[in-house]
Amino acid sequence: MKLILHNYWRSSASQRVRIALGLKRLPYDYVSVHLLNDGGQHKSAAYKQLNPMAQVPALEVIEDGGARHVLTQSLPIIEFLDERFPETPRLLPSDPFARAQTRALAEIVNAGIQPFQNLSTTAAVKALGGDDVEWICDFMTKGLAAFEASVASWRQAHQADGGPYCVGSTPTLADCCLIPQMHAARRFAIDLTPFPQLRTIDAACAKLPAFIDAAPERQPDAPSA
């Protein structure tokens, strides 16, 4: 099986999938889709054939027999990888409550924060005369506070499942979503002092090769310093 990831170095949704591929130790071809160059390469007719929403990432899956599939949206892509390659680490826990918690945390980022920092959203805010940075920081701070409270509540109720990550002793889909958001928070100078749980998780993930290798600045299409 061959995996081809169409993504952008700074896209947090793309970074989620890169982390998951790294945790699963799956090799893949990296194809850059630049969101600024050429008027936005994700808007091209060719790319829209891969992803009609004109968003990154998109994952091409070419099976050994030649069958080709295109998967879009970071969370379904990661769930596919977890189901197709069930070897450890499992990115969705087997326990139904832990699995639900993992998905809930992922959605805080995926639905509650990240859409408000998309280029299309911030461009619309600026076109209406608003402050796009203030807009982003407000939603990001509120979302991170909700994530922090949810992690703290889960850990208090499930002390036996303690571990350095979002839900237990191994990284999950939730960590794949949190770490890119923490990176974005630092880029926008969000004060992370009020979020000790998130800073602890971030520090634990920062020691793992999958998270290190997926960092935006390490991608081949990242601008040179």
CA 28/CA 143 separation, integer angstroms: 31
Task: Tell me if residue 4 falls in helix, strand or coil.
Answer: strand
* Ramachandran bin of 130, using left for φ above 0, alpha for ψ from -120 to 50, beta for the remaining angles: beta
CA 139/CA 22 separation, integer angstroms: 29
Q: What is the pLDDT of residues 113-127, one digit of tens each?
A: 987 777 777 677 777
Structure tokens at 21: 């591929």
| DSSP code for 219 | S
CA 197/CA 218 separation, integer angstroms: 26
pLDDT of residue 155: 92
CB atoms within 10 A of CB 127: 9
**114 alpha-carbon distance from chain centroid:** 9
**pLDDT per 10-residue tile (average), the chain, 225 residues:** 97 98 98 94 96 97 96 98 92 96 97 80 74 84 97 86 87 98 95 97 98 98 88
Q: What is the pLDDT of residues 14-41, one digit of tens each?
A: 999 999 999 999 999 999 999 999 989 9
